Amino acid sequence: MEINAQMVKELRDRTGAGIMDCRKALTEAEGSMAKAEALLKEKGMRGPKDPTRVTKQGVIECYKHAGFQDSGSQLGALVELNCETDFVGRTPEFRELAYEIALHVAASDPKYIDRESISAEAIETQRATFAEQLRLAGTGDDELPAKLDARMDEWIKEVVLLEQPYVRDPKQTIRQLILAVCATTHENIRVGRFARFKVGE
């Protein structure tokens, strides 16, 4: 069964899970909304009931990594993690999540929070670069669109925070890490912004 954008949106609205996770669950469930929702819940990817609720509380967390064996440089990150209520913002689970995301930002150097954060200009520039590389590597016109889409998807997973594999457990993404805490707090949790700093850069 073909999985269309409306189905993905409906599942996302019902669960709060990410777009790619919703599409994958629907594919596994052969289009069954109920089965897809159960799959997401089983994997800890069911978020709050209303993913549109405002997140204006939270914390700013930092991580500082002092010293690489080869350079002795210092590296750090700041993350603003938002939730709906001050109560959740003060829980150990939420603060630990903020710390882990800051650690991940320092280690993985993401450029964007999510796909929507990437400008159309940046997307087009990257597509043009990859298209040229693929043509130089001998990719024919018939193969180019599929290979280009695959390479863009890889690039997005490299630069988008929510889609990066979590450094402590590459089997799950940062989005899944956040959704696991959403499932226990029953609140929306969002990364507001982040910054990474390295001495000398």
pLDDT computed for residue 163 by the predictor: 92
The CATH label, of 1.10.3210.10, 3.90.1150.10, 3.40.190.10, 3.30.479.20, for the domain at 57-113+160-198 is: 3.30.479.20
Q: What is the pTM of this model?
A: 0.70
Angstrom distance (rounded) from CA 104 to CA 34? 33
pLDDT computed for residue 5 by the predictor: 82
Amino acid at position 91, single letter: T
Burial 18-51 (b: 16+ CB within 10 A, else e): bbbbbbbbbeebeeeeeebbebbeebbbbbbeee
Q: Domain 5-42 class? A: mainly alpha
pLDDT computed for residue 201 by the predictor: 75
pLDDT computed for residue 37 by the predictor: 83
Please provide residue 130's backbone torsions phi and psi, each rounded to the nearest 5 degrees. -65, -35
CA 95 to chain centre: 18
- Consecutive 10-residue runs of the chain (201 residues): their mean pLDDT? 82 70 86 86 60 83 72 81 92 95 95 92 92 89 88 92 93 90 86 90 75
Give every CB contact of residue 129 below 8 A, 6+ residues apart in sequence.
none
Angstrom distance (rounded) from CA 116 to CA 9? 15
Q: Would you put residue 184 in left (φ > 0), alpha (ψ -120 to 50) or beta?
A: alpha
Amino acid at position 148, single letter: L
